Structure 1
Amino acid sequence: MYSFRELQKACKKEAGGKEIRLAVLGNCATQFFSQAVKGYGRLSGLNLTVFDADYNQIATQLLNPSSEVYGFGADKILIWLCTEKIYEEYLAEEVSLRNAFAETYMQKIQHYWDLIENNSKAQILQMNFFEIDDKALGNYSSKMDFTFIYQIRKLNYLLAEAEAKNGKVYPVDALSLQLNLGRDFFFDAALYYHAKMSVSMDALPYLAKAVIDVVNAMNGKIKKCVILDLDNTLWGGIIGDDGMGGIEIGEYGKGHVFTNLQRWIKQLKDCGIILAVCSKNEADIAREPFEKHEEMILRLADISIFVANWNDKASNIKMIQESLNIGMDSIVFLDDNPVERNLVKEKCPDIEVPELPKDPALWLDFLQRKNYFETASYTGSGSDRTKLYQREFERKSHQQSFETIDDYLQNLMMEGRAKAFEPVKYPRIAQLTQRTNQFNLRTVRYTEDDIKRLAEDKGFITLYYTLKDKFGDYGLVSVVILKKTSEKDLFVDTWLMSCRVFKRGMEEFVMNHVVQTAKENGFETISSQYIPTKKNQMVKDIYEAMGFNRDGENLFHLDLDTFKTAKTYIKEADSDE
């Protein structure tokens, strides 16, 4: 972990890319915290600018539409209500009213959220609450509803419930840091009383990292895949030497370590993380535990791509990455062998390769604390995603039997469908805007509430596209948001597409439909923009390829009368299907 001094120096570090503007509001002193957040952001490659509001001015700033916070034009506003101040408010409350303290305080927090939503377009980062157990009744305090420990725990619960219902609020789990690091490390009483700082100088970098983890996820910088070694990683022992009966897995002895690791990895899969295997082994032998060992938690159905051979792992990982069509920086590779880890880091520098402790018993806690899998959305479709990638691997194998790409695409028997945004799809559409980086022309991120607003706004035409072929259903693969800029012109606010269907004719299918929709609604031109990022270079020429004319640097327009229908082998599905 960086020291606070290192983060202070990093504030001067230059960073490219789109500027992210974060405002910090706290009822405690936040100056050093804001510096730590900015420094951590710069070290993470974010062009982060931070506005630190004056001490304990949350209500003053949020109630005034002309305040400094709103004038700053923040993309994101972080609210930090420190437990020490909350405790002081609790003690000032009449004893007879303390059993309702959490509900009353939660109303104040939601009022803050409403003020932000009414006065700005900023997303909200909300820190939850550290615990203070004042032992007013000793251990008995935890069951009495008027005690502070009861109320602060209830407040954390109420906060989580409220966040789950508000798509513009993103949690920063400060409490988990306090639990992991310990209150003695996290809190410096002298610093609080003299400087009103609620977190020690040593703990500030950990809290800053938690904030930047969330900001990165909100901006689409997330891990999507875990690639797993097998021998002495998913089980103890070497399957090729020890056989099925000799490997360590199950509830007893060392096997319990690997069983719990597998349980956690399976949970990652259920939450949408892609699982792949990369092992130096004979393929049939490597698969055997997944198929036949009764105490294995992970099964072949959980693995999107299974690679077991004697090639070097770096080459195999590159093959897996290309098959999944995701960035190397979206992958975490787990291997017990430091030699293999170093090789992969050398050959694939963008991949995340944790330096696992020597003792496997420490691995699970180590990986959980690293927080590799921060996300800003969840749709509950993890199992479906595994099947999608398994089918995609089948498609790539199938492609090798054709001499031309045209023959292959025709043989897929693809069907596409276009629909207007509808409520059941809002979570998935929002998730795509937050997670799609490569085929994304402007990389605008939207929350579920934003998607609902756009769908109901008559100033926009909002479309999503699905695709299926003979191997299965890709599901929702593309999103287009068109803004009505005049009676005759539409502007492409958003066009994104899953890279799983790139070069399948889906981009042509989408554009054909967009032009058709524009004509049916009486428009004559479509204008568009490409905003370059580090990851979307693959689509920098897409508009010109579709027949648009260039108007300037990364600006384009299309006269609809001149558009020639693009060739695609995707047929439009019947509307009643």
Structure 2
Amino acid sequence: MHWLPESSDFSVQLGSLNGAHSQETRWHDFVRLANSRLDFVQTNRLDRACRKAFPELAQEATGEPVRLAVFSGSTTDHLVAALRVGCLRRGMWCEVHAGEYGQYMQELNEPESAFHAFGANVVLFSFDARTLLGQPDAAMDAAAADGLIEHTIDMLRGLWRRAAHSSAVQVIQQAVLPIALPLIGNNEHRLPGSMRALIDRVNQRMRAAADEDGVDILALDARIAVDGLTAWHDPMLWHRAKQEISPAAGPFYGDLVARLVAARRGRSYKCLVLDLDNTLWGGVIGDDGLAGIVIGQGSTLGEAYASFQCYAKELSRRGIILAVCSKNDEANAWEPFDQHPEMVLNRSDIACLVANWEDKASNLRRIAQALNIGLDALVFVDDNPFERNIVRRELPMVAVPELPADPALYGRCIADAGYFESIGITSEDRERTAQYQGNLQREALRSAATDLAGYLASLEMRLEWQPFDLVGLQRITQLINKTNQFNLTTRRYTDAEVTAAMQEKGVVTLQLRLTDRYGDNGIIGVVIARPREPGGGELFIDTWLMSCRVLGRQVEQATMNLLVARAREVGARTLIGEYRATAKNGMVREHYQKLGFTRIAEHDDERTTWRCVTTEFTPFQTHIEPIRTGS
């Protein structure tokens, strides 16, 4: 894992962790050490030390612990430590249940099995080609090969559905490793019964089926295309110990799985923060001037920098925020973006630029604050080892890749690190840079305004709302599964369950989009309210979440007005709200109280229950115009 910094004194650091005085300090130090370049032996040592130091302290990690069940037709015991350390690297506590060798069908089907007692919230299927396809006859015709492929996919879908016994379970299917030897060579696809051709086909069909069933793919075949098969598989270890994934590849394997788990939980990074001089171009703009920096055609080095900019721009187009943190005068920093003809990135691609002569850790804090995201959402890219090490020391929650010396490899480094792993992209993601630029313009207007009411009125806000529909389904589900701070209950739902809510009688659903004079913020809020019992007159607010970037603009009050109006339309006399405390949603602890609800219950598990009588509710006065859209 070349993007991680080496740990020259790993044993010393590991030994010091056991002597730390504070449990919380030890947890963060374990996470920090996991974010260094570890081999198989070091990964196992770190895992043992972590298990010894934290027998009952999973609560030190933020968020729900990962309970990962692994089913395989080969040996996976040697990967368990890597899976746990991969999650640790992303601040998640992980417990692993490794199913008995080849016993996945029995464990899934038997209600009293160890798997069901374990209570997995993530299930990983790691099947080799022999387990899935048996020993196919190379002489079989195309029809027989088609039948084998479809039978295999039907079997997998049955396993996925047994594993996903509740909406809280994430199912991950590992692509089949292309370990079979070719029989005819370059045109192997022309031999339908070839194991190599069947593996390629089953991986292709598996992806289509996974998309339909909401299953996430662990794309080891794509990784092997980059790294080479020998980096992942050792035939001697397969024959000796039935280890399909070699131990040397274990740390990377654990990291790949953890990326998928983090992505599903909304814990992937959101923002790529870029240094300028010798990172986006060669040379120093302040010294060399516009004509002296190296970028673009006519230079091997310049083309490498342009290629890295192209990769950054493509990340921006898929929804990653781009920011700049540079030791420079601001005018000098902007000059290449505005004037250099070979620049790929331009001013409109950058959501936030901070250029001054202060330390970069302080400036990264400013960027996170300006964008209203956490420091743990930032990936900081800088060619200077000194700056990288300072940020790692001062801001350990910020990801800082160890850039290679050659800028031609910068993009590969960021891609291999998997910081921006995602399980799907929406139209909202593609507009993210413009949305954050609009936020900065709004903040500038707010700072200049003499009174809050005048500022809000000047925004000319419109809250466009409608019930859930299929057009907005992907974005709605994405928000439900990744919003942690402004989220009253943090319940998670799949596409199928959101669709079911759309069709359920008496359920009130709201998708909320905020627009103003600076642009469209996209879908920023989701509400689901269910009748407690048919005709009972009570609506229970199952889900209420909002994007934090619209806080302070009266959206909560405007949403409450809409919710009460919709409740009255379906005959509900009472709204019941629930707050379920998590490590990240403390900001909404008093949400219902501020909206006029009455607290009616407090529970031992830090839940509180609230009531609002709709007939007694007086609508809030806001500077937001509600607009019904859709059918």
The answer, yes or no, to whether TM exceeds 0.5 is yes
Query: Is the Cα contact below 8 Å between 2:294 and 2:301 reproduced in 1?
Result: yes
- Residues 376 and 434, structure 1, Cα contact 8 Å, conserved in 2: no
Distance 2:322 2:140 in 1: 53
In 2, distance between residues paired with 1:576 and 1:436? 25
For residue 537 of structure 1, the aligned residue among 580, 586, 600 is: 586
**1:119 and 1:218 mapped to 2: Cα distance?**
15
Long gaps (5+) in structure 1: none
Partner SS state of residue 352, structure 1: coil
Correspondence 1:15 to 2:64: no
Report if aligned partners of 1:76, 1:122 keep a CA contact under 8 Å in 2: yes
Letter in 1 for 2:443: K
Measure, in 1, the Cα distance between the counterparts of 2:623 and 2:160: 48
Q: Contact (CA 8 Å) 1:11, 1:39: kept in 2 or not?
A: no
The structure 2 residue matched to 1:565, chosen from 603, 614, 619, is 619
Q: Deviations over 1:303-327 (max 9, x none)?
A: 1123333343333322221121111
Does 2:95 correspond to 1:95?
no
Question: Are residues 1:546 and 2:546 paired?
Answer: no
Matched, 1:5 2:82: no
Distance 1:575 1:82 in 2: 50
Q: Does 1:447 align with 2:486?
A: no
Shift of 1:392: 1.1
Tell me if the contact between 1:219 and 1:445 (Cα under 8 Å) persists in the aligned partners: no
Measure, in 2, the Cα distance between the counterparts of 1:228 and 1:367: 12
Secondary structure at 1:217's aligned position in 2? Answer: helix
CA-to-aligned-CA distance 1:17-39 (integer Å, 9 cap, x gap): 42333222112123333443234
Check 1:164–1:463 CA distance in 2 against 1; reply closer, same or farther (3 A cut): same
Match of 2:96 in 1: 50
SS at match of 1:272: coil
Moved more, 530-539 or 342-351: 342-351
Aligned equivalents of 1:494, 1:115: Cα separation in 2: 27
Gaps of 5+ in 2: 1-36
Residue 274 of structure 1: CA displacement? 0.6
User: Using a 3 Å threshold, how does the CA distance of structure 1 residues 93 and 461 change in structure 2: closer, same or farther?
Assistant: farther
> Following the alignment from structure 1 to structure 2, what is the Cα–Cα distance between the partners of residues 301 and 51?
48
What is the CA–CA distance in structure 2 between the aligned matches of 1:315 and 1:33, rounded to whole Å? 39
Offset, 1:503: 1.0
- Contact 1:222–1:435 at 8 Å: present in 2 too? no
- Which residue of the partner structure matches residue 383 of structure 2? 336
The structural deviation recorded for 1:143 is 4.7
Distance 1:447 1:351, change over 3 A: same
* Residue aligning to 1:555: 608
Instruction: Encode CA deviations 1:351-405: one digit per residue, 9 max, x unaligned.
Output: 1122222332332222221111111231144442111111111111111221221
Other structure's SS at 1:522 match: coil
How far residue 57 of structure 1 moved from its aligned partner, in angstroms, is: 2.4
235, 242, 249: which one aligns with 1:203? 249
Closer/same/farther in 2, CA of residues 482 and 85 from structure 1, 3 Å limit: same
Partner residue in 1 for 2:435: 388
**Closer/same/farther in 2, CA of residues 41 and 311 from structure 1, 3 Å limit:** closer
Shift of 1:575: 5.5
Map 1:33-72 → 2, pairs under 5 A:
33-42=79-88, 44-63=90-109, 68-70=114-116, 72=118
Residue 511 of structure 1: aligned partner: 560
Distance change (3 Å), C-alpha of 1:143 and 1:574: closer
Contact 2:179 2:229 in 1 (8 A): no
Q: Does the C-alpha gap of structure 1 residues 48 and 461 become closer, same or farther in structure 2, counting only changes over 3 Å?
A: farther
Q: How many residues align?
A: 575
TM-superposed CA distance for 1:64, in Å, is 5.0
Q: CA deviation at 1:224?
A: 0.7
Q: CA offset at residue 489 of structure 1?
A: 2.3
Corresponding residue number in structure 1 for 2:577: 528
Pairs within 5 Å for 1:275-424: 275-424=322-471
Name the CA distance, whole Å, in 1 between partners of 2:266 and 2:411.
Answer: 25
The share of aligned pairs that are identical, in percent, is 35
Asked if the contact 2:179–2:196 (Cα under 8 Å) also holds between the matched residues in 1, the reply is: yes
Deviates more, 1:132-141 or 1:241-250: 132-141
Partner SS state of residue 238, structure 2: helix
C-alpha contact (below 8 Å) 1:102/1:152 kept by paired residues: no
Q: 1:457 to 1:117 in 2, by over 3 A?
A: farther
Amino acid at match of 2:509: T
Residue of 210, 222, 228 corresponding to 1:163: 210
CA distance in 2, matches of 1:298, 1:35: 41
CA contact (8 A) 1:222 1:373 kept: yes
Worse-matched range after superposition: 195-204 or 557-566? 557-566
TM-score normalised according to structure 2 size: 0.85
TM-score scaled by length of structure 1: 0.92
CA distance in 2, matches of 1:214, 1:111: 22
1:496 equivalent in alignment to 2:549: no
Question: Distance in 1 between the 2:253 and 2:195 partners?
Answer: 24
Give the aligned partner of residue 478 of structure 1.
525
1:212-251 → structure 2 map (5 Å cutoff) = 212-251=258-297
Displacement after TM superposition at 1:84 (Å): 4.9
Query: Structure 1 172/575 Cα, relative in aligned 2: closer, same or farther at 3 Å?
Result: closer
Instruction: Classify the secondary structure of the residue corresponding to 1:343.
Output: helix
- Residue by residue over 1:507-540, the C-alpha shift from the partner in whole angstroms, topping out at 9 and shown as x without a partner, is 1111222222223322233223223333222112
Name the structure 1 match of 2:476. 429
Name the stretch that deviates more: 286-295 or 462-471. Answer: 286-295
Deviation at 1:71, TM superposition (A): 5.0
> Residue 111 of structure 1: CA displacement?
3.2
Distance 1:282 1:477, change over 3 A: same
CA RMSD of aligned residues (A): 2.6
SS at match of 1:136: coil
State the partner residue of 2:512: 465
Structure 1 residue aligned with 2:154: 107
> Contact (CA 8 Å) 1:41, 1:48: kept in 2 or not?
yes
Give the counterpart letter for 1:80 in structure 2: S
The alpha-carbon distance between structure 1 residues 529 and 132, as it changes in their structure 2 partners (threshold 3 A), is same
SS of equivalent residue, structure 1 residue 565: coil
Question: Which residue type is aligned with residue 424 of structure 1?
Answer: V
- Does 2:239 align with 1:193? yes
1:38–1:48 CA contact under 8 A, matched in 2: yes
Q: Give the aligned residue type for 1:15.
A: A
Secondary structure of 1:390's partner? helix
CA 1:93/1:284 → structure 2, altered by over 3 Å: closer, same or farther? same
Supply the distance in 2 between the matched residues of 1:172 and 1:11 (Cα, whole angstroms). 26
Distance 1:340 1:322 in 2: 20
Give 1:93 deviation, angstroms: 7.0
Deviation at 1:127, TM superposition (A): 0.6
Q: Find the aligned partners of 1:151 and 1:245 in 2 and give their Cα distance.
A: 55
- Structure 1: how far apart are the matches of 2:203 and 2:352? 40
